[in-house]
Structure 1
Amino acid sequence: MALDVRKNEPTDTLAGLDALELAGATARPSPLTRVWSAAWPMLAAIGIALLFWQAVVWSGWKDPWVLPGPAETLPIFFDQITSGSFWAAVGLTMQRALVGFAVSVAIGVLVGALVSRFMVLRRAFGSLITGLQTMPSIAWFPLAILLFQLSEKAILFVVVLGAAPSIANGLIAGVDYTPPILLRAGKVMGLRGINLYRHLIMPASLPSFVAGLKQGWAFAWRSLMAGELLVIIGDTTSLGVLLSHARELNNTADMISYMIVILVIGIMIDQLFGVVDRAIRTRWGLD
């Protein structure tokens, strides 16, 4: 009697595909390989930037005292990062940044949730939020100084106005792009009000919300640097104050060193947001 093997073909095909997928999943690179694959593009970019910097210096476009090269600047940079007073200035700047960003997140989430939930608020304040997001942060400082004088509140005021609109817009965009079928399913399951946001809308809008947080941090960091250059409070020393003093003394090597530190901090925070983004993509099966 002949055996009909065709009825087993779909099962055999699925089993073969599962075996291939599992084989690919087990063939993971070593930790050292993963670290190197992540590090070498950044190292190459740093090398290219240093070569371009040195080429500009060699071109004679500016005098060496105006634009020193890497050989003159990097030793000063390494001396600075071993100084306790320098790290005290970095600590004050990061404290201001974290406090301002935390307040911005709280306000941005509240405003974004309300505007995305109520159509009347969307029509009233939707365009205003976008307008605040596009407004240069430095334009707020005259008003901030008039309201709060030269104080921490003036800096916090501008940082929040720079970051909160981006965070609110990120949440609004995430809510707008939540699939309607998910909302209907949630309502069928009895989710209403805060529970609907907590268990369905917030998780569904998480990718856009994280993008808004990342953009909000960028605006907060830029606003803070502008604030520390303009608002010098007593004898406090921050990265902005060090940068301003180096400019007043025409000490370009120190000034570039502080700019490198500001850039490195921005890159490190961006990497943290990248870790969160990759975790979300992995959880959603997109990575």
Structure 2
Amino acid sequence: MTPITEVEGRRLPLSNLDKVLYPATGFTKAEVLHYYASTAEALLPHLRDRPVSFLRYPDGPDGQQFFAKNVPPGTPDWVHTAEVPRSEGGVRQILVQDLPSLMWAANLVTEFHVPQWRAGTPAQADRMVFDLDPGRPATVVECCRAARWLRERLTADGFHVYAKTSGSKGLHLLVPLEPTPSERVTAYAKELAVEAERELPALVVHRMTRSLRPGKVFVDFSQNAAAKTTAAPYTLRARPEPTVSAPVTWAEVEGCEEPGQLALAADDIAPRLRRHGDLLAPLLDPDLAQPLPARAGR
């Protein structure tokens, strides 16, 4: 019999709690659900009002993985959804607005991916993202070097810049913005990626071409496009171990000298939240949101 639990008045069936989802560590589905319940206070504000795309891996990272944007069959009627415009026509997507909907979605075993805009203002980005992806033999150490340059450059344009691990090999930089058309944000982010490659040609590449990337950091600016999404803060990733896309301090970025130094797993997050709080909370502060420079993205 599938266990039923009650979360804030909503009855949820939770299945296969003993199933090992991360064989490298023995991390079970029950532990996945516990992780999301214990980090919900920090996670939910970063999901709220953003249409969620799911990368599902119900049999663990070694099993089948599939990306889903449409509302899944069997979604409870109390889970919020939003109509999202697409070039091929509108679709409905999930909004994870509260703890019950978070736990319902977590029971599907998924990574959470979100756009840089909110459901009420599609294609009006309220944050900018740079995805720093190392090409072997480069590692997160090289990503941190590129991140320091980008932070300095963005700060010169008046922005506040925050960092999180990707939960995989790289690093994400996030910048709070006054709502701005996504195409302008993408154009500005591309300008900075091109500039970074020009200034750091031995370290950075701004094009996705695989042959250009070995030993360098690909500065992916494209996730600012309205149709693109990025791994949400605090989401678990479908990796061999239960790694998390987790915020890090700039002191940690500046002190990164070993490839595994910024690898953060589910068990690391609660102590970090007690020590630092949510390092990405400033992303949600409208007083820190800045406009793009007038020249940018024109």
What TM-score, normalized to structure 1?
A: 0.23
Which has the larger Rg? 1
More helix by share: 1
What TM-score, normalized to structure 2?
A: 0.22
More strand by share: 2
